[in-house]
Structure 1
Amino acid sequence: MSQQTSVYGGQAVIEGVMFAGKHVNVTAVRRKNQEITYYEVPRKASSSLLATLKKIPFVRGVVGIIESAAKGSQHLTYSAEAYAEDETGAEEAAAQKKKEKWNLSMILGVAVVGALSFVVGKLIFTLVPTFLESVLFGHVFENKILHNLLEGVIKIILLLFYLWFISQTPLIKRLFQYHGAEHKVISAFEAGVELTVENVQKFSRLHYRCGSSFIIFTVIVGVIIYSFFTWDSLTERLIQRVALLPLVLGVSYEVLRGTNALRDIPVLRSLGYPGLWLQLLTTKEPTDDQVAVSIASFNRMRELDRQVQPI
């Protein structure tokens, strides 16, 4: 029997997984001594304004993205600090934290999960392709729709190259493995099976309701929305992209929700394939130890969810 009562989400962090519950967010991290430690943050009740905004289609997506990014950064910071402490020792890690000196791999590790989800990251992946397309093809032809399509192609190429490039580092590869472990646990829970390592490993590392899918949908949706607008200069085009970003994010979120709702319908489930294809890059098959960490995080979140009341 599948679980229909609760919908959970999460994210990979450095050497661990975070799961967001109804009342608490929990991160479990595998330390160098093989101990699993937890970072538990009770979720505060949203203000009446935020609660209202979260119910409005095309607005709730933008609100959710900003809120998730802010909360997720806490858990990324915890995992980064734990990793630094294990690698350099507690005293040296504290000194590094004060000086704000983080090694390149750690910065990239935070960036792949965090920056792409932040509005700043989305701005970069929106404006740079627009600028490149205009420089390369701006004077070749005048068809605006074709310019939009080429802009979308450049975005996808840059995104794929970025993900491939950072995945070559051992730390990011492990981060992607934990991402796969997160998806497997959620899928196993939704299928209603007992959360053991053996059971969880049978499930796919890909999941329809994933931030990676959201990223690719923003590219596709952007091409469509931009086709309804015109511009006369590069500056106007760049300003237009920034102004339309909230609309693109809001529509993309609804598309993501829609593909997840349709994933059990044989023909319509193909609508979610672009997002699943991107996850072939952003997830890797996890080890049993990594799945065990993901299960521990999920079980701890569920346990605390039954105890903690919203603040």
Structure 2
Amino acid sequence: MSQSTQNIYGGQAVIEGVMFAGKHANVTAVRRKNNEIVYYEVPRTTKPWIQKLKKIPFVRGVVAILESSAKGSQHLNFSMESYAEDELDEAKDGEKPVKSAEKSGWSLSMIVGVAIAGILSFVAGKLIFTLVPALIEELLFEQAFENIIVHNLIEGIIKILFLLSYLYFISLTPIIKRLFQYHGAEHKVISAYEAGAELTVANVQKFTRLHYRCGSSFIVFSVLVGVIVYSFFHWDSLWERIYLRILLLPVVLGASYEALRFTNALRDLPVLRFLGYPGLWLQKLTTKEPTDEQVAVSIASFNRMLELDGQVANSQA
């Protein structure tokens, strides 16, 4: 099957599992300590006005990022609850292998609350990684030179070093290392699917754990695009610089999203595919080679997502 006839799918690593987002359903598969794979399934619905916004260049990136943060947080919380239950030995005998949004005991208010928390967490994290490097650069190099472009380049370098250090140190913890392995498993499954390969553990393991559409690539682009965008605006004080960074954050996110789409479209062109290399290099930190068991969980999640998508498509035919 050629990629042109396929839907484009994305996913997210969670604690001891993988989430995949389909056209009609989002599915998370998690392996429990008793080796059972359990699922969390949520119908995918989008408000018409949100769907319209997602068709507008530059605006669609911000909308997609916030939507992904909101929905992804629900699946991450499901995996964390499952992990906590295993750690506390509170898993009940005879637990059903499928947990839908209704069966998991989540009320609508809980889902909305987690979604809002996910958006706020993303925004807070992005602000920290945007403002702290600007503050450090201002404190160290304010009087060194006047060229605003040089200031922005140094800020970008500090931001990259800050990011790499953060990712390296958290990757040393066992739970994050396993999370990054599941991240690799997610990429391998998507790559195998896009190549038209049968989704078996042996086949999927042959593919690379790096992927052009990964959110890690988006992080790199946001740094590079930020250097360019900020260079069009002059500031006279530290507070004005901080204000501009906050004000321009949606612009940087929207432009970074478009850059990521552009490089993904060019990834098969030998001369231009290098545009996506910085994101792939960062993925060497944010992904690890998965085990066969982890790949099996990723395949189970993806297949269940395809199954639910197919059921909805057939019912609408």
Normalised TM-score (structure 1): 0.90
Please report the RMSD computed on the Cα atoms of aligned residues, expressed in angstroms. Answer: 1.8
Other-structure match for 1:80: 80
Distance 1:116 1:184, change over 3 A: farther
**Identical positions, percent:** 74
Residue 306 of structure 1 aligns to a residue whose secondary structure is: helix
Residue 85 (structure 1) shift? 0.3
Could you list the structure 1 runs, at least 4 aligned residues long, displaced by more than 4 angstroms after superposition.
Answer: 114-117
- 2:198 is the alignment partner of 1:194: yes
Other-structure match for 1:50: 50
CA contact (8 A) 2:20 2:27 kept: yes
CA contact (8 A) 1:9 1:20 kept: yes
Unpaired segments ≥5 residues, structure 2: 92-117
Paired amino acid for 1:249: L
2: CA distance between counterparts of 1:119 and 1:267?
35
- 2:206 is the alignment partner of 1:205: no
CA contact (8 A) 1:27 1:39 kept: yes
Residue 30 of structure 2 aligns to a residue whose secondary structure is: strand
| 1:251 paired residue among 251, 255, 259 | 255
1: CA distance between counterparts of 2:129 and 2:120?
8
- 2:147 is the alignment partner of 1:146: no
Other-structure match for 2:296: 292
Residues 113-135 of structure 1, C-alpha deviation per residue, up to 9 Å, x if partnerless? x7898122111100010001000
- 2:66 is the alignment partner of 1:62: no
Residue 211 of structure 2 aligns to a residue whose secondary structure is: coil
CA contact (8 A) 1:212 1:282 kept: yes
Normalised TM-score (structure 2): 0.88
Other-structure match for 2:13: 12
1: CA distance between counterparts of 2:252 and 2:237?
21
Unpaired segments ≥5 residues, structure 1: 92-113
2: CA distance between counterparts of 1:147 and 1:264?
35
Paired amino acid for 1:273: Y
Residues 255-280 of structure 1, C-alpha deviation per residue, up to 9 Å, x if partnerless? 00000000000010000000000000
Residue 247 of structure 2 aligns to a residue whose secondary structure is: helix
Residue 299 (structure 1) shift? 0.2
CA contact (8 A) 1:42 1:308 kept: no
Residue 51 (structure 1) shift? 1.3
Residue 89 (structure 1) shift? 2.2
Residue 23 (structure 1) shift? 0.3
Residues 74-109 of structure 1, C-alpha deviation per residue, up to 9 Å, x if partnerless? 000000000000011228xxxxxxxxxxxxxxxxxx
Paired amino acid for 1:124: I
Distance 1:116 1:15, change over 3 A: farther
Residue 204 (structure 1) shift? 0.3
Distance 1:116 1:177, change over 3 A: farther
Residue 262 of structure 2 aligns to a residue whose secondary structure is: helix
Other-structure match for 2:3: 3
Residues 116-172 of structure 1, C-alpha deviation per residue, up to 9 Å, x if partnerless? 981221111000100010001111211111000000000000000000000000100
Paired amino acid for 1:65: I
Number of aligned residue pairs:
289
Distance 1:22 1:263, change over 3 A: same
Residue 308 of structure 1 aligns to a residue whose secondary structure is: helix
Other-structure match for 1:168: 172
CA contact (8 A) 2:70 2:119 kept: no
Other-structure match for 1:96: none
